[in-house]
Amino acid sequence: MSSSIKALIFDVYGTLLDVHSVIEKCEELYPEKGKQISQTWRQKQIEYSFLRQLMGNYTPFSHVTADALRYAVHEHGYELLHNQEQTLMNAYLHLQHYDEVEAVLKEFTNCKRAVFSNGSHDMLDPLIKNAGLTSLFDKIISVDDVKQYKPTPASYLHALNVLGVERHEVLFMSSNGWDISGAKSFGFRTAWINRLHKPTEQLQVPPDAIYSDLRGILEWK
């Protein structure tokens, strides 16, 4: 492996797995509003994880995700019924992985491979299993072990400690620009999987590489 990379760390939601594959389930429950509700749900899920960290009021991601769903549903004039919450939270455990994930991961057998997510283990472990990705990873790492959401330095430090490598030996992948900024600021090498062709975040920590999907990282092999 080039460049002394000893570990690959992958974000999960939006990076390995398509978070908008819950749109169909949302549309079943809320006809015509499914797409908007699932987008607000995702946006508020991220915002609430930031806010709870800033307020010093950490709560696991499963709780944050349910709170974000309730907000998204309220915004469109609905109440969230218990069975609807169960149906939609369950949909978050069954996300589709992006097409190229398995083939790319199988090319990197000579280094540690981990997922690292804001998701708590009650969401993350069944999700990776249901997506059929368990055998491709050495570790499933959650910020919940240290109660520090990304992009705090303490969150990335936890992933580093679990893997037992040095910062500069890590190549970190995320589709979220803010996650890439946090990881780069911490000292990882970073590949931004820019699936949605967004502009680079203006946070003065640009990524080392930008790819439109995970196949781009094969050049680090």
By CB under 8 A, the count of residues binding a second copy is 33
H runs (alpha helix) in the chain:
23-29, 34-55, 61-75, 82-91, 101-105, 121-130, 153-163, 177-186
Of the residues 11, 99, 144, 145, only one is catalytic, namely 11
Say how many CA atoms lie within 13 Å of 125 toward its Cβ.
Answer: 4
Antiparallel, parallel or unpaired: β 7-10 and 112-117: parallel
Q: Are 141 and 172 in contact (CB under 8 A)?
A: no
Q: Which stretch binds a second copy (CB under 8 A): 107-115, 123-131, 166-174, 193-201?
A: 193-201
Contact 189, 3 (CB under 8 A): yes
DSSP label at 140? Answer: E
Site string for a second copy, 47-76 (x = CB under 8 A): xx-xxxxxxxx---------xx-xx--xx-
Q: Does 82 bind a second copy (CB under 8 A)?
A: no
Nearer to a second copy, 25 or 44 (CB): 44
Nearer to a second copy, 108 or 177 (CB): 177
Give the three-class secondary structure for 59.
Answer: coil
Nearest to a second copy of 31, 56 (CB atom): 56
CB 124 within 8 A of CB 117: yes
Q: Pattern 140-179, binding to a second copy, x per CB under 8 A?
A: ---------x-xxx------------------------x-
Is there a catalytic annotation at residue 11? Answer: yes
Return residues touching a second copy (CB under 8 A).
44, 47-48, 50-57, 67-68, 70-71, 74-75, 149, 151-153, 178, 181-182, 185, 198-205
